[in-house]
Structure formats: C-alpha cells, structure tokens
Amino acid sequence: MNQTARIISIYAADTSGFCSALYEYGGMVVIHDASGCNSTYTTHDEPRWYDKKCMMFISGLTEKDAVMGNDDKLIDDLVIAANKLKPEFIALCASPLPAMIGTDLDAIAYAVEQETGIPSFHVKTNGMQSYITGAGNAFVELAKKFIDDKSYRNSEAVNKTEKETTLKSENNDSNITGSSDINVINETSTISAASDKIKVNIIGVTPLDFPKKENCESLKKFIEESGFTLNACIGVDTSLSEIKILPDADVNLMVSSSGKPLCEYLYENYDIPFVKGVPYGIRFAEKIKDLLKESAKEKRNIDATSDLRKEGKVAILGESVLSSSLAAAFFIDNGINACVIETVGDGDFDILKPFDFRCEDEAYLEEILKDFDVIIGDPLFKPICHDKRFVSLPHEAFSGRCFTKNAPNFIYASLDSIEESNK
C-alpha cells in the first residue's frame, strides 16, 4: 500500500507546528476545529506545556456552524476572550474542516483586529501538511505583523550613528561623546567595527525538532563562544521583542526547515543572508562559525553542508536540515559517510544530495533501508529496519515525548556520545 503507515508513526501536522512556533510570544493561539481538546495539537509533543503558560484554544466548531457559515460566532468568541485575556496578538489557523469549506480566516482576523485593536493574523494550515509548513508559515506571519519597517529603519540609522560615534571617540582617543556627524567617519574603520560585532539570529528552533532544554542552550552557547552576539532565538526561550528586532541581525543561522520561510523573508526584505546548518559536532560547528562570518560579509546565503557530504552505508532518517547537518558533522568530525533519507515529505529539499532519498512511504522506506548497514533515526522506525544496526535518535515531531529524555545532544559537542546514548 502506497503512502500508508502500517507500522511506523506519522509526523506532527501543520497545526501542531503552528502551535509550537507561536507558543512563547504571548498571543492567543486559536485552531478553528471541532475538537475541544488541546492535546491533539500540543501536549503530546510540547515539552513546555507543563511549565510555561500559553493561551491556546480550539474554537469548538460544530456541524451546524460549518453548514450555516456561522463565522460570527467565532468572531464573537474571539472578541470576548481577547478582551478578557488581553493577548499580545491573536493568531488563527484552520483544521481540515474549515480549510475544506473555505472559511476566510484572513477576513475573520481582520474583523477581530478592527473590533479589539489587537494585532490579529491568519496562518495558513489545513491539518494535512507537516509541522514544518505550519511552523514556517507561523514564523513568517509573526514577523510580518511585528517587524515595524519604519522604526526598523530609524533604529538602523541610530545604530549606525552610535557605532560610528563610538568608533570616532576611540580613534580620537577621547572619552568625550563623539559627534553624530557620520560623514567624517573613515569607511574602513566602519566596516571593521561592524565585523567585530556580528549579530546572529538563530531561526527555526521549536521543540518538535529541538525538544530538550540543552539543545537550545547549546545553540546559544555556540553563538556566544564563537564571538558573535545573539540577536534573537526564534522560537524557544524567546519573546515578542525578539521578533521586533530581527532585522538588526547581520546574518541568520537556519537550523531547521521550519526556519526557511522566515530566513528567506528576512533575506528578501531586509537583505540579511543566512547559513543553513545545525552546529553538530566540533569541527562542523567551527565550519559554521567561519561561514557565518563569510555570509555576513558577502551578504550571501550558504549551505554549510554543501561540500561535506559523501555517499555511505549509514542512513540518517528524518528532517532534511537536521539530518544533513548530522551527516556533514559525521563526515568532518568522524570521517563517516552517511546518506540522508528525508522522511517528513516537507521542508528544505535543496540541502539534499543526489545520493540522498526522499521517502514518506513506509513500504518504499523498508526496501531502501535494506541497502544500509547502520540506520540512525527515531526509535519508532526500528521495526522496519530488519536486523540492521539501529542507532536511536528520538525526534519529537515523530514520536512525541516518548523518548525525549534519552535523546542525545550533539549540538556544539562531540558526536562520540551517540555510542554512549545507545548503550
């Protein structure tokens, strides 16, 4: 049977990605659906559910409301709840039912914003795509709503003046606050000052791909110990103020496919380039450090894995950016060649090599895996891996919280621990 999962699990849907991406930004997050139970979307794959509050709701759509086109009920409920809870914003997304009947959530968001004055927007989902699409769309819509072009341009001008003023003071060897007259500043000095303070956004962090607290801490540690300034981490350990200052960064580090739409948006609209790759291992992390500098300087998007991959008998199953990064890290850190088998069926396919596979079909996957000696993937893949050596690498978007506590953390750390974690 094609496109059927008889044995293995399936990935979290776009609605879960939407919830995960917006979890920490203080908004009222609403899924227009018949269900009244949040666990369908969040609790099973949301480690923050038990220690961080989030205003997450299901609209409770009924058959009668759907048939009669009773959108006013949703609008009224949203207005009542928003006036009571005073969220930073209201975000709406559709489950399959409203997506199929074409409920205009853009218009509903507009009506609610007019009524409450609270920024409101719709994130495109239909409950049938993967978490990558939902999270990716959510990050972009949030950025569109909260990056203030006008104030950004003003703050850019202020930052530029401040940087140059400081520089002038240093050049003059004086403690007196410098003039804001930027015309007198020497151009070479300005570039050098800017490159010393490269600001980096980490884009595309959700617990669906990075479930453990240590994952996010390691990403931040990598940025700071590499001599960069962390501008924002989207979207774990974050807040709405980080979204507003996203354009202040010099370069973005795209750590998952969920971060791709926002990276592309920031590149197209604010000329901020991005480096694609998760800093797994030690040498690969070093490589990413160098590429972040190069990308910021040359304003060029770079795939950190591009020349660090060779076909091998090891298969890494999962999301494309994380898996390709791990394969590149194995190559440069341990001399191991690995193929990536992209199993989500969604996300960044550009990062894949000709010898990699795209496979979301269980029967086909089972066949492909016969050609490998070692398989690295979520434990729920193990039943179709025959008698091959299987290395467990839990993925929250695939198996929820089942195996999270055993998940190793390779970010900015030796890959040798993979052996330890599987003993």
Partner 1 sequence: MIKFAIYGKGGIGKSTLSSNLSAALAKRGLTVMQIGCDPKADSTSLLCPKEKITSVLDLVRSSKPFTLEDMVKESESGVLCVEAGGPVPGLGCAGRGIINALESLENKGAYKVYKPDVVIYDVLGDVVCGGFTMPMRKGFADKVYIVTSGEKMSIYAAANIAMAIENFKKRDYAKLGGIILNCRGVENEEENVAELAKDFNTSVLAKIERSPLFAQAEAKGKTIVDLFPDSDICKTLLGLADTITSDFN
The residues that touch partner 1, with contacts defined as CB under 8 A, are 69, 100-104, 106-108, 110-111, 114-115
- 3-state SS string over 275-286? EECCCECCHHHH
The two beta strands, 55-58 and 357-358, are unpaired
* Shortest distance (Å) from residue 79 CB to partner 1: 12
Minimal CA–CA distance to 396: which of 218, 221, 215? 215
CB 129 within 8 A of CB 49: no
CA distance 87 to 29: 9
Task: Name which of 114 and 186 has its Cβ closer to partner 1.
Answer: 114
- What is the closest distance, in whole angstroms, from the C-beta atom of residue 55 to partner 1 in the complex? 24
Measured from the CB atom, the residue of 51 and 268 that comes closer to partner 1 is 268
Comparison of 110 and 357: residue with beta carbon closer to partner 1 = 110
Nearest distance in Å: CB 265, partner 1: 16
| Min separation Cβ 195 and partner 1, Å | 36
Shortest gap between Cβ of 68 and partner 1 (angstroms)?
11
CB nearer to partner 1: give 55 or 66.
Answer: 66
Minimum distance between the CB of residue 114 and partner 1, rounded to whole angstroms? 6
Nearer to partner 1, 38 or 126 (CB): 126
Show contacts of 401-405: CB within 8 Å, 24+ apart.
Answer: 401/44, 401/45, 401/47, 401/211, 403/378, 403/379, 404/47, 404/211, 404/212
* 114 vs 177 by CB, closer to partner 1: 114
In angstroms, what is the minimal distance from the CB of 1 to partner 1?
Answer: 18
Residue 124 φ/ψ region, left for φ over 0, alpha for ψ in the -120 to 50 degree band, beta for the rest: beta
Residue type, 121: F
Closest approach of partner 1 to the CB of residue 78, in Å: 13
Q: Nearer Cβ to partner 1, position 68 or 158?
A: 68
The smaller minimum CB distance to partner 1, of residues 102 and 354, is found at: 102
